[in-house]
Structure 1
Amino acid sequence: MPSGIKTGLELRDVRIGLDGRELVAVDLVIEPGEIVTLMGPSGSGKSSLLGHICGTLPDQFKVAGQVILDGQSLDGKAPQDRHVGILFQDDLLFPHLSVGGNLAFALSTNVRGKANRRARVEEALRSADLDGFADRDPATLSGGQRARIALMRVLLSEPCALLLDEPFSKLDSDLRGQIRSFVFNLCRKNGLPTLMVTHDPEDGIAAGGRVINLA
């Protein structure tokens, strides 16, 4: 997405339906660096909304409204052209790649040269307090380390907005607070408009932003 003024993520009267039933209706602007929490019971359309923003919602869903990111419509664009990152509850690290290989996978082809790409990976690891982990096997990492690597991989793809789909639900209570702070601080530092879907009210409290409850 071309550089320019960052205006955030706007959902203009977005409505998603399936089999004649409206699942979700949202009219929302998320400013750069703002974290908005979306809560609701299973089946309330939370994940469908994230899929629509990413461009991965199946065709059988009926959609109205517009998704605007930094002043540009995302409607009709392929997922890889939307510059929207998403973090799931499962870290989805590639088991056949090293930690460094997982991170390098996210780098744009515009980052040229082996040394340059390696430097970007090392910088990401340092920022996650995982200096020296590039050659590690992901299977040797703790849950918290895997969560940090997953986030850094998303950020290395240089998204203009971030979606969080129950990203902390599989972490134990002590680790959850630590990783939440790490994720939210980086969202704000990078000026990413962030939409988080969760069942845990504590996530919304920790995010410190607006909380929207779906029926």
Structure 2
Amino acid sequence: MQARARTTRRYLLEAAARLFHERGYVGTSISDISAESGRTSGAIYFHFVNKERLALAILEEHHATWPGLIGTYMNSDCPALEKLVGLSFEVARAFRDDPVVRAGARLWAERAAIDAPLPASFVGWFETVTELLEQAAESGELNPAMNPAVAARGVVSAFFGLHTISDALDGREHIESGLHDLWLLLLHGLQADPDPAALLERVRRSSPPEPLARVCADA
């Protein structure tokens, strides 16, 4: 019975996520979600109480996506800057392809309309990127003129700025191409011995993250 309830809850969550992404928080009602999911409003209220709790659940799932993905890259044998770049492409694909991640991004942008305490955003990304850049500094990959914490804020800001623009222009359809071009620019400043094209080619060959760890271990 619990397994069935979890399955139903996830189904409702994904149906709501599709609508929140397409129509926004204010433009989506419980009745809309009921019609999209084929479940009654009562079933939705049973699992989520109200629309605010449903939005909060999507945001929590959005944030829960990242620790496992980050851990896969952190634990690989790749050089730190390759970990960072590879991770960024995986995150970009999640924002483009995962309905819950996409919905979480839109809900966060519309957070003022949601009458519920929401999880903090971006802070974890600053910490993760700072850690990777510190690793790069220790291994001699990072330009010695770069302060890892300061550079991390610039990288994270540029990454999410790219997502905002890509979403507005084409629904993130070309996000990977845009991210490739962004890294060509950023790596010229970040690398101690700049060769952005070669690093990006290594990351391209090693994606997704399981092959990434294997390729780097064999290098």
TM-score clears 0.5: no
Normalized per residue, which structure has more strand? 1
How high is the TM-score relative to the length of structure 1?
0.28
Larger radius of gyration: 2
Q: Which has the higher contact order (CA 8 A, sep 6+)?
A: 1
- Answer 1 or 2: which has greater helix percent: 2
TM-score for both structures, normalised by structure 2: 0.28
